[in-house]
């Protein structure tokens, strides 16, 4: 499929079926089963999509009905998503980490008449919400589920929906989607709620297709569009993975491998050899720390090569190269350090695109210097979600998020807010006219992000408008910049800084568990870091890390005090979103008294 075909596709389903007709028996969706990676072909996926679409209509669902989709990343998720749309319905993706209360909010707000769930474990959280909702009537299970688990809800097994004549199902889907346009609603994606109750973003077919075409153009022009392979591991219920990890590979005719989980991600990367990965910064902060620990024991030569690789990447990014010397250094690195690192990432990586949260430039320099191009994207669910992306052709500056994608207009408001216009912009929030009116004004999406455009038209993000710290003297401080620098220190795994209407900035710190274990052994301490937070020597080590960061911060940004969290911020304790951004309001609710005490001491 050419760029033109993607740009002119009428709907996501039409695009998928066109690609499936062309790809036929080529592998499409690949997951590990019984120890082996087993592919599902494009043709078989298309057959299942059409049969399931007609099965959903057969149980009584009608055009425009919303269907909740709850499941892990797997081939069945992709098939169900496409089948919902092929039936003329609207997908409502939901996180597997949702509580019953979360599910109830999404069900009632969306008015979903049905839900598709992958297994009994996830059904245990979903079903109480369905039984308490006024709208949910049908439950479809992908894996076996006992009838009695469904309670009062009408229960259907996914294999039953695959019954019927495949040719007739395809004809019915073709006839139905012939009337679907790019303006029609494809899905309602609920934001992950960093600051309150999630809102349903109305994403139309054109928004996602526009994103895919813009991203495909970057790949084609900067890296070459060949036989691509993606490894899907971020939640498909998140707009970033939904577009970048599912529909972009469909547009490219790529294979999608499904990771077995974050705990097996490193092994999965090495054995599946992806060419493109959609990632989040937190993952690469952890990977960088792991690589640095491994390199410590490999001698002076290896560590010197690593330092030179990172310095070279920084010079190239900042366009201050030394042509002859840098060419020699590049050659040495290509023959020594880089092949070993690239092999750990499967050996075929063209680009890793980081999104969902700000990427510290030092992380970008680190991996790009090792021969693993790490580009930062920028966007939000309300914009498809990708607005811009760093790319080599535009000058790979790590302190920017690159130029807007093709066909995206960006301007900066008088107060510094980034405004966006184009087909990628949502049609509004579902059943929320007041919030829609705030976000969409005169055709422009008000992103809530503060930034500017550099001389080459690349977007530079300062911070979230609502997250900006304003101290008691009226100075603006970007917390994410300070937090990103803190978490680069080996002693610190996570951090949240605060200081709104206060005289200075303080931090809540989660020590790095592996560093802390080493510290404990060196200081004859038993237990773990939670037991040492009052230990003067332990606190001094953390204070040293803060001082190293403070040396590179302005006077108003410097962290003057710190407290320890009781545990790591995580999805399970609701202090991180599923895309691994910290939930500031949750953390403030839990630790506000502790950080406030730093101003009294």
- The model's pTM is 0.85
Three-state secondary-structure class, residue 97: coil
Task: Note the pLDDT tens digit of each residue in 441-493.
Answer: 999 999 989 899 999 999 998 877 778 787 877 777 889 889 999 999 999 99
Contact between residue 391 and residue 402 where contact means Cβ atoms under 8 Å apart = yes
The widest CA-to-CA distance across the chain, in whole angstroms, is 74
- The Cα–Cα gap between 200 and 429 comes to 5
* Distance separating alpha carbons of residues 249 and 85, to the nearest angstrom: 18
Summarize the chain as % helix, strand, coil (round to 5): 45, 20, 35
How many Å apart are CA 255 and CA 353, to the nearest integer?
A: 17
Residue 473: the pLDDT is: 74
pLDDT at 462: 81
CA dihedral for 313, 315, 321, 325, sign (positive or negative): negative
CA quadruple 64, 70, 71, 72: dihedral sign: positive
**Digit-coded pLDDT (tens) for 538-597:** 999 999 999 999 998 888 899 999 999 999 999 899 899 887 889 898 999 999 999 999
In whole angstroms, give the CA distance from residue 380 to residue 382: 5
Q: Are 268 and 259 in contact (CB under 8 A)?
A: yes
217 vs 355, more confident: 217
pLDDT of 148 = 60
Instruction: Give the residue from 240, 353, 177, 249 showing the smallest Cα distance to 1.
Output: 249
Answer yes or no: are the C-beta atoms of 203 and 384 closer than 8 Å. Answer: yes
Walk me through the domains of the chain, giving residue ranges and CATH numbers: 3-250 (3.40.50.980), 280-464 (3.40.50.12780), 469-600 (3.30.300.30)
Assign 495 to helix, strand or coil.
strand
Residue 171's contacts (CB-CB under 8 Å, 6 or more residues apart) are none
Per-residue pLDDT at 578? 80
Mind listing the pLDDT tens digit for each residue in 242-287? 999 999 999 999 999 999 998 899 999 999 999 999 998 888 888 8
Please check the confidence at residue 510 and state whether its pLDDT lies above 80.
yes
Give the model's pLDDT for residue 601: 63
- Is 170 in contact with 86 (CB distance < 8 Å)? no
Q: Is the pLDDT of residue 237 over 60?
A: yes
Q: By percentage, how much of the chain surpasses pLDDT 90?
A: 76
Name every residue whose Cβ is closer than 8 Å to that of residue 564 and which is 6 or more positions away in sequence: 508, 509, 510, 511, 529, 530, 533
Distances (CA, A) of 357 to 102, 183, 481, 512, 555: 22, 29, 11, 20, 25
Q: C-alpha distances in angstroms, 418 versus 201, 208, 380, 446, 504? A: 19, 20, 12, 7, 27
Average pLDDT, the chain: 92
Give CA separation, 392 vs 2, 298, 348, 376, 520, in Å: 21, 31, 18, 11, 44
Q: Estimate to the nearest angstrom the gap between the alpha carbon of 10 and the chain centroid.
A: 26
**422 dihedral zone (left: phi>0; alpha: psi -120 to 50; beta):** left
The residues facing 377 across adjacent strands are 389
Question: Which regions of 390-454 does DSSP assign to beta strands (E)?
Answer: 409-412, 417-421, 440-441, 444-453
Residue in 353, 8, 20 with CA at minimum distance from that of residue 210: 8
Closest Cα partner for 435 from 195, 239, 211, 102? 195
Taking CB atoms within 8 Å and a gap of at least 24, the contacts of 465-473 are 465/415, 465/417, 466/195, 467/584, 469/497, 469/498, 469/499, 469/500, 469/505, 470/500, 470/501, 471/499, 471/500, 471/501, 471/502, 471/503, 471/504, 471/505, 471/556, 472/501, 472/502, 472/503, 473/503, 473/556
Question: Distance of CA 564 to CAs 173, 524, 595, Å?
Answer: 56, 21, 9
Q: Which residues contact 490 (CB under 8 A, 6 or more apart)?
A: 289, 292, 512, 515, 545
Q: C-alpha angle 151/156/160, rounded to 5°?
A: 160
Average pLDDT over residues 298-321: 87
Strands (E), 7-121: 27-33, 36-41, 66-70, 90-94, 114-117
What value does the CA radius of gyration of the chain take, rounded to a whole number of Å? 25
Whose structure tokens read 């994410």?
480
Q: Which neighbouring-strand residues pair with 374?
A: 352
DSSP structural state of residue 22: H
Direct distance between the N- and C-terminal alpha carbons of the chain, in angstroms, rounded to an integer: 64
């Amino acid at each position: 499929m050419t760029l033109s075909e993607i740009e002119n596709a009428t709907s996501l389903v039409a695009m998928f079926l066109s690609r499936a007709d062309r790809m036929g028996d080529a592998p499409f969706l690949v997951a590990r089963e019984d120890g082996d990676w087993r592919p599902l072909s494009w043709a078989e996926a298309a057959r299942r999509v059409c049969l399931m679409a007609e099965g959903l209509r057969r149980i009584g669902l009608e055009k425009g009905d919303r269907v909740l989709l709850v499941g892990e990343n797997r081939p069945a998720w992709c098939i169900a998503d496409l089948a919902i749309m092929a039936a003329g319905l609207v997908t409502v993706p939901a996180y597997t980490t949702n509580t019953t209360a979360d599910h109830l909010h999404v069900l009632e707000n969306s008015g979903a008449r049905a839900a598709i769930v992958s297994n009994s474990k996830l059904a245990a959280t979903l079903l109480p919400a369905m039984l308490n909702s006024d709208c949910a009537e049908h439950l479809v299970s992908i894996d076996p589920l006992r009838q009695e688990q469904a309670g009062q809800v009408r229960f259907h097994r996914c294999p039953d929906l695959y019954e019927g004549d495949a040719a007739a199902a395809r004809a019915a889907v073709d006839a139905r989607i012939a009337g679907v346009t790019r303006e029609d609603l494809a899905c309602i994606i609920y934001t992950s709620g960093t600051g309150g109750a999630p809102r349903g973003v109305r994403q139309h077919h054109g928004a996602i297709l526009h994103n895919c075409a813009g991203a495909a153009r970057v790949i084609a022009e900067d890296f070459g569009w060949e036989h691509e392979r993606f490894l899907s591991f971020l939640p498909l219920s998140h707009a970033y993975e939904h577009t970048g990890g599912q529909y972009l590979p469909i547009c490219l005719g790529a294979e999608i491998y499904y990771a077995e989980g974050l705990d097996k991600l490193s092994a999965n990367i090495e054995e599946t050899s992806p060419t493109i990965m959609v990632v989040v910064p937190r993952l690469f902060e952890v990977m960088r720390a792991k690589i640095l620990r491994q390199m410590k024991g490999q001698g002076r030569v290896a560590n010197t090569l690593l330092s030179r690789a990172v310095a070279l990447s920084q010079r190239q990014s900042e366009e201050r190269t030394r042509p002859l010397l840098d060419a020699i250094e590049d050659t040495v690195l290509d023959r020594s350090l880089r092949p070993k690192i690239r092999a750990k990432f499967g050996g075929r990586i063209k680009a890793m695109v980081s999104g969902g949260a700000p990427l510290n430039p030092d992380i970008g320099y680190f991996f790009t210097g090792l021969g693993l191009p790490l580009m930062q994207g920028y966007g939000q669910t309300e914009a498809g979600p990708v607005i811009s992306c760093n790319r080599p052709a535009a000058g790979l500056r790590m302190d920017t998020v690159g130029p807007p994608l093709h066909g995206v207009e960006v301007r900066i408001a008088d107060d510094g807010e980034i405004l966006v216009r184009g087909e990628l912009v949502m049609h509004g929030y579902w059943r929320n006219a007041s919030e829609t009116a705030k976000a969409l004004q005169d055709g422009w999406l008000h992103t809530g992000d503060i930034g500017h455009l550099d001389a080459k038209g690349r977007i530079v993000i300062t911070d979230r408008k609502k997250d900006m710290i304003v101290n008691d003297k009226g100075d603006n401080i970007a917390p994410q910049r300070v937090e990103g620098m803190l978490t680069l220190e080996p002693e610190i795994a996570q951090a949240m800084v605060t200081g709104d209407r206060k005289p200075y900035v303080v931090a809540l710190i989660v020590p790095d568990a592996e560093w802390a274990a080493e510290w404990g052994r060196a200081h004859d301490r038993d237990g773990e870091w939670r037991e040492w937070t009052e230990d003067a020597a332990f606190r001094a080590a953390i204070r040293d890390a803060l001082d190293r960061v403070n040396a590179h911060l302005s006077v108003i940004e410097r962290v003057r005090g710190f407290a320890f969290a009781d545990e790591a911020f995580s999805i399970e304790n609701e202090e991180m979103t599923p895309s691994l951004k910290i939930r500031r309001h949750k953390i403030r609710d839990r630790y506000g008294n502790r950080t406030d005490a730093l101003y009294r001491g």
